[in-house]
Structure 1
């Protein structure tokens, strides 16, 4: 019925256009969108297959490359001559130099496998030996490094990390492996640098951004030079890239939809491994396809424009007769009650013209009927007091929340302490309870809990400058009270108690139950009011409730609500002396509070 009514309200041209759009354009658009999505899907799947193949190729070539230092490490682990050179006691530096010259295995490996490895270092503590960049006395900095300690702890397993070569001052992907020196339990650490140029040559030929990272997410090789040596978290913060293992993932990079393909490389007898990561952006992959799609859209759009012009011309012929009828009806609407119209033909338009004259005769009756519908408008005033109460109850000054949040933020930034979590929890509790305040009453214990949260937050802000005491008769905690009837008084006490008071503020809340209700007292040791200011405040509170939007809340808010709910006997009583603080008292009348 809604669609029929909407169609009846449309002009003929719009109806014909809508029919054409529904019958031709919408199906065409649906087919076009379906084909576009299929084309994008095919392009993305092809790119994904290519990226997966690239990652697999990089994985195999990298594995072939690092298998060389892995094999050499096995040989050196069983090379007793190397162990003897590294651990034997030397009588003089001449003996050291002679022994180093006679042992050529390391130099031979470097010369024979110079495409796969660029350096071999043996770290052994031997006070009588020398450093010749093959046998090195490890310094305290080296022995305390993470990679050295991991190698010793793994007891012969192989590790792969990006570490600094002290000789050349550059970081290289290196094989790290601890080996036993002698029967006394001494050990050394073997480090072999993988050839950096060869490693980069593996990834440079890839068409998509491709990275090789170690288990600490440090980039050891990349086909984008500015990424080398950086931590992956500095470039990509997506958890799929940082922590995910083998597989493919969807992600967002620089606001663009992208896909990530990850393959693991875990060499034999290694405590860690490498990850090969390939990333491609969907928009870049679909760029060429989008150009083809755009060309098709232009052709289709041109065809649709021509069709729309033809439909518009046909609709104009049909709507011209309706326009004549519409103009005559407009004249009648302007007051020409004698106007008549005659349109030849037997279609619906001609039928309407013949019925038009009968319609004019009934217009006057319709006008009278319309005039009778403009009555009964004065029901709002009887609820004015109720609305005023709701407005008063909802005016909660949020300044202390913002101040507390700022304090928490600054404290967290400066001190980085866990107790801030507790403060945030209290603040969220207070905010939630404030936002859930209704128009009815709550139990006094709920109001007290809100007050405790507020005071704890202010104490977090002011620390030792704020002291508060709550003395509450336990029998009164089930008493029904209006929400936020005490908290504004506590807030005023905190603000005025700390104002110009270097040594801090002491806030006291006392709730005493009596058979007729409860007496509530709020005290502070603030600056207080002089006689003139106190008289002015009492005069403002005793005035009639006529606040306008934008007026201040606080004492006036609480006082007005108490008077509206419990009568003038429950109005606020304020006592104050300059330099001795302020006392605010009021009484809430109620029944039993067991």
Structure 2
């Protein structure tokens, strides 16, 4: 009992550290030192054998691929038809094209053999056309080292990393000289080996493996960052650059490595290729299966002992934690009066005491929250009562319309017909504005609102404002979004009439154009808009928001584009001193006339 009390008094962090060191670190450290030495010996031996086998396998498969190109080069060197095509003198381009069309052997080789990417013959024949199969060597090509070497090697094949003019990519290529009709007429045959096939051969290798030519160009590799580079730029080890065969130790990227090199010299070739495989210690972990079984047995024995020790120690901890868990479950059922008593001075004992304090604090907070919610509910109820009373005191639309009607009738009885007419038009304008929703309305309703709006301003400005409406009857039934034309008329009054002393004429026109589209125009001969202000107006049309309380041109422009597309946007033309013209066009797909009933 005294030992248990001492363990319970130890801090939990120290307790877990002691258990970990006793149970895990010491056994694993002892067994790890022993197994690592054995593992390194077996891994290095197995990896070297595997790398040698891999290099030999890659050597054979690569030889199979390049031998296809070598065999094709022999066949083409004895192909009299090809020699005749490359050496004959042509009288016209049509004759060249017809000859190329009839000769399909080169295309057939490329199509039938997946090992071949492309074949081309360089021949000096001014009457011949370049078709990527028969090529006229330019000055730069004739100076290339592979081209000069091919002409000097008297029919031997050579292998190099050559750029193809067609796609500007480099390929492992076979080059050899071919005599045409006589010994003086020479040509160079180039056969590109399929680089994807070579890379697929290397992709099956687990170690870093590459194929390099005699200039140390990496023509194929199973690492994408190596392909196409020069070996001297990637690995500066001198033995790797010049040693043709064998194996040696090297340091690659700061790691001890093993390099295995095999030479590949194709038959009747003046140069060859090398296959290089590199592996480090990290590459050979998977080859130590035999040692892993031994280490698993040793580690397993250590783990058994560790489990027993961990279980004994954990039982002391989990027993107390289980009591704490049960108490937390009781609190989860909103039992705030329960109390937990766990002995010990370690973290679990402190946690139980802090938990009791937390439960007590939560109980107090719950009581305070309930009181706060009751107060908020009472305040919300009083606010709703005030809102209801305020709404009840507001003037409703019926009261407003009835008042305007009473004013109109009184003006009519007193003989003030102009005033009565203005009040009646204002009543119609307000009623229509309040009834506007998201639905579309016939053009005739929108024009009635515009007419009332103009009559009200004519009542205000008298003879200073004149207007006329040129409406095509065929357009009156077309549905449009509400409040589209009225803001444009408002703009004409704002920018035209207010800054001009002479009478101003505002014209509203609607018509269907030749394409069946609705064309609307609002024109005035007012003061016009100065260029600077016109620029500001154009910028406001492009802004996301237009300042002010009016509906605004920006709102009209946005609604037209959202409803009918970009083709329906506003077009504004204005000249200072001569007036302003605003137009928009609704496309044919949006022009659908409404059929009114007889009792509308």
- Give the TM-score normalised by structure 1: 0.43
Give the number of the structure with larger relative contact order, counting CA–CA contacts within 8 Å between residues 6 or more apart: 2
The higher radius of gyration belongs to 2
- Give the TM-score normalised by structure 2: 0.43
